[in-house]
Structure 1
Amino acid sequence: MFIVFEGSNGIGKSSLVKEVAKNIRFLGEKVHETKEPTTTQLGELIRSYESEVKGLPFAYLIAADRYLHIKNEIQKKLDEKMIVISDRYVLSSLVLQRLDGLDLDFIWLLNNFSIKPNLTVLLTGDDKIIEQRLNSRATKTRLEANNSIKEELDLYEQGMLFLERKGYNFMVVNNTKYSIDHNAKIVTNHIMKLVSQR
């Protein structure tokens, strides 16, 4: 089963992924955690050039990293009957690359051969709380520093509606109103229900 966590910078994706993965392991399932950009040489290159490479070249790099991610990691772990949980996936491209000036349909064209997750967990919340979290960071990436949180949240909602029309399955979770523990339990229960139905 392939599960994806999406949401704006500062929404708490990484923290929630860790808690959900821990809960699922406690229930006896094998879990593989991963993220995008990946920890491969290409993924690290993308991170190191994120402040310099923008727009179309950046979109191609992200798409290439994603397709290699699917081939070399995600699909292999799925074949081993593991639950794969990714911090970011296609929806992030539909949002962040739009903020970089690209057209939604073009971004989808680059990414539409990506395998469809069984579930995408979209984290949302209060833009002011998210901004406070980002401002507490020692450094910010180009996309964290230059974009409106409210606009980013709106684009995530638009992207979700777009992907739902493509058959993607979503769960929306407010990750500023409730605690990580509370949300991790809700998401874990939902995932385990999906597992039991397979």
Structure 2
Amino acid sequence: MTAGRGLLVAIEGPGGVGKSTATALVTRLLKSEGLPALATREPTDTDLGNLARHGTDEYQGEAMACLIAADRFMHGEEIRPALERGEIVVCDRYIASSLALQCMDGVDQEFVWLLNERVIQPDLTVMVSGQPDVIEARLAARGAHSRYERADGSSHVECAYFAEAAKFLRKKGHRVLGVDASHVPAEEVARSIVAAIVRLRKDHQNHDAGRADVQLEQSVPGARGEAAPVSGAAAGVGAGADGDGAQRGV
């Protein structure tokens, strides 16, 4: 657990997959179960975050990676107190988005990690994925939000980079839950995520009470009903703040 008794949950995935909707629904469902939850997003709705959100054409490569990391550290000033209050913080985009989009932008993966290894680490990273052709159709319907989405075949490229980001985070000991949302109602996706969060929260509470250890390998219902692994050692080892500068606003 990152701090206090709270949990930090990052909702990640390529543009057009429905992260913002998932974040809102997950937060609503958690609150309906009487659990304290806070929805937030990156880039943040601050001057620094808006600079990153609307500056994808002006800022690129390492400059963008540093800008987004700076926003994440500032974001930690909001996240940390919420965690200390015992809240479940649900963030639309976080470290995985940096590992995917900045690397997609030509930045070395290890450099991106170096910028982010001292921010507050998520207790659970939820990778919302989908079939690239389905995502492409959604983007065409809603319009591109950044130069990343305007590129030909962007969805196929983004999906590949997010898959690599998931592998990277697992190797770093992060819990990563995969959910395929290609043809699944948003409510069902959200319920799958909430089930994982509730189980993780219970494991943490039992561990704190000295009754059980946090399970490092868990299974929760995936969006299609299959078992989706939640893998990795306990996260929350970093100290900075948070602020994934997803270079787009979804």
Residue of structure 1 equivalent to 2:44: 38
Contact 2:27 2:90 in 1 (8 A): yes
Q: Which residue of 1 aligns with 2:21?
A: 15
User: Which of residues 24, 27, 31 in structure 2 aligns to 1:25?
Assistant: 31
- How far is the alpha carbon of 1:174 from its aligned partner? 0.4
Match of 1:126 in 2: 131
Q: Is 2:111 aligned against 1:106?
A: yes
CA deviation vs aligned residue, 1:150-183 (integer Å, no higher than 9, x gap)? 1211111111111111110011000113111111
CA displacement 1:13-43 (0-9 Å, x = unmatched): 0011111111100000111110110011100
- Aligned amino acid, residue 91 of structure 2: S
Over aligned residue pairs, what C-alpha RMSD do you find? 1.1
* Structure 2 contact 42–93 (Cα < 8 Å) conserved: yes
In the superposition, the TM-score normalised over structure 1's length comes to 0.96
- 1:62 — aligned with what? 68
The letter for the 2-side match of 1:101 is G
Q: Does 1:175 align with 2:176?
A: no
Deviations, residues 45-73 of structure 1 (Å, cap 9, x unaligned): 22232221111111110010011111x11
Work out whether 1:90 is the aligned partner of 2:89.
Answer: no
Structure 1 residue 139: Cα displacement: 4.7
Q: Supply the distance in 1 between the matched residues of 2:164 and 2:84 (Cα, whole angstroms).
A: 32
How many Å separate the matches in 2 of 1:66 and 1:138?
26
Identical residues among aligned pairs (%) = 36
Counting matched residue pairs gives 197
Unmatched segments (≥5 aa) in structure 1: none
1:134 is displaced (CA, Å) by 0.5
CA contact (8 A) 2:17 2:130 kept: yes
One-letter amino acid matched to 1:76: P
2:84 aligned residue (65, 79, 87): 79
For the residues of structure 1 that align with 2:171 and 2:67, how far apart are their CA atoms?
26
Task: From the two aligned structures, give the one with the greater helix fraction.
Answer: 1
For residues 144 and 127 of structure 2, the distance between their equivalents in structure 1, rounded to whole angstroms, comes to 25
For residues 123 and 133 of structure 1, the distance between their equivalents in structure 2, rounded to whole angstroms, comes to 14
Q: Where has structure 1 moved over 2 Å in runs of 4 or more?
A: none
Unaligned runs of 5+ in 2: 1-6, 205-250
- Inter-partner Cα distance in structure 1 for 2:93 and 2:121: 13
SS of equivalent to 1:73: helix
Q: How does the TM-score come out when normalised to structure 2?
A: 0.76
Cα distance change, pair 158–39 in 1 and its aligned pair in 2 (3 A)? same
